[in-house]
Structure 1
Amino acid sequence: MAPASPAGSAPASPRLPAPSRGRRPGMARLEVDRAFPRSPRGVLKIARTLVALAALICFLASDAHEAYTALAGMETVITGLFLLLYLLRLDARMRCLFWPLADIFNSVVAALFLLVVGLFAIIIKTNKGTLAGGVLGLILLVLCLVDVVLLCKKISLDKARGRSAPAK
């Protein structure tokens, strides 16, 4: 006969490891940077994404030229991806690329394209939707330039603090 267990408890059994809740043992959880959306860079990224989305909607609604729509769509997607990159702290995990420099390059190229497309949309002004999209494109151009300035300051501050050299 098996020994009796204390009243109200289950029979003794070997302790099993807790279930992993769908995570593989080698996988680390993604952390959300809750301070990033409230930082100046975070607010700027969110504003860039929303203004690019508004320009895309204006160009789509007005049946504007495909180049206008494509540029606004690409800017929305790329800025949204950079926002996710910084929000999920993936820039700290993926060290194969210096992300602030890639972000600066993206902002400069986007600013050049937005200058051309915004001016053409305003000058040609086939309808009010295209005109509104062009104005939003020029606002987005200013936001891109402000983003470049903030990123350059971040890079120069990190270098001054000695963070540019990898830790050994």
Structure 2
Amino acid sequence: MPTLKLKPKHRPFCFSVKGHVKMLRLALTVTSMTFFIISQAPEPYIVIAGFEVTVIFFFIILYMFRLDRIINCILWPLLDIINSVVTAIFMMTISVLALIPETTTFMILGGAITGKT
């Protein structure tokens, strides 16, 4: 009698731990960018935060459509790690620069939120 192999149940990306972390990261980065826009911070702060929002959104779409399973020639976990390191470096730099004198309350809030991603 042959045994039936059941496929493991695939959890949709939005309901996985990885999905929750990426969504939280997106929310924090959007909040930071919003504070920078409200405070009329220098344009590089807004541009870098906007770039990070775009990259995070790209990864969320990529994982939602399961393109990471279709495109096998890229090491996706390594790409995630590299993305996280680059994001951390950019956001830490913005956080420090946002705390330079002549800042507004919203710039400080944007820098404080950015430093926690």
Q: CA deviation at 1:123?
A: 3.7
1:131 match = 108
Q: CA deviation at 1:125?
A: 5.5
Aligned-partner Cα distance in 1 for 2:72–2:35:
37
State the shift of 1:129 in Å.
Answer: 1.2
Residue 78 of structure 1 pairs with residue 55 of structure 2: yes
Residue matched to 1:99: 76
Q: Distance in 2 between matches of 1:43 and 1:123?
A: 33
Bigger Rg over Cα: 1
How high is the sequence identity, in percent, across the aligned residues?
Answer: 34
Report how many aligned residue pairs link the two structures. Answer: 108
* Structure 2 segments unaligned to the other structure (5+ residues): 1-9
Note the residue ranges of structure 1 that are not aligned, 5 or more in a row. Answer: 1-32, 141-168
1:59 partner amino acid: F
Q: How big is each residue's C-alpha offset from its partner over 1:112-161, in whole Å with a ceiling of 9 and x where there is no partner?
A: 11111111212436101111110111111xxxxxxxxxxxxxxxxxxxxx
Q: CA deviation at 1:96?
A: 2.5
DSSP-derived class of the 2:72 partner: coil
1:50 aligns with 2:20: no
Q: What CA deviation, in whole Å up to 9, does each residue of 1:30-56 have, x standing for no partner?
A: xxx752212211100000111111111
Q: Deviation of residue 64 (structure 1)? A: 0.3
Q: 1:44-102 CA distances to partner (integer Å, 9 max, x unpaired)?
A: 00001111111111111111011110111011110011011111101111122112211
CA spacing shift, 1:62–1:95, aligned 2, 3 Å = same
Q: What value does the CA root-mean-square deviation take over the aligned residues?
A: 1.5
Distance 2:25 2:62 in 1: 15
Distance 2:101 2:58 in 1: 31
More helix by percentage: 2
Normalised by the size of structure 1, how large is the TM-score? Answer: 0.60
Normalised TM-score (structure 2): 0.85
Ranges of 4+ aligned residues in structure 1 off by more than 6 Å: none
Provide the C-alpha distance between the structure 2 equivalents of 1:124 and 1:49, rounded to a whole number of angstroms. 28
Distance 1:34 1:126, change over 3 A: same
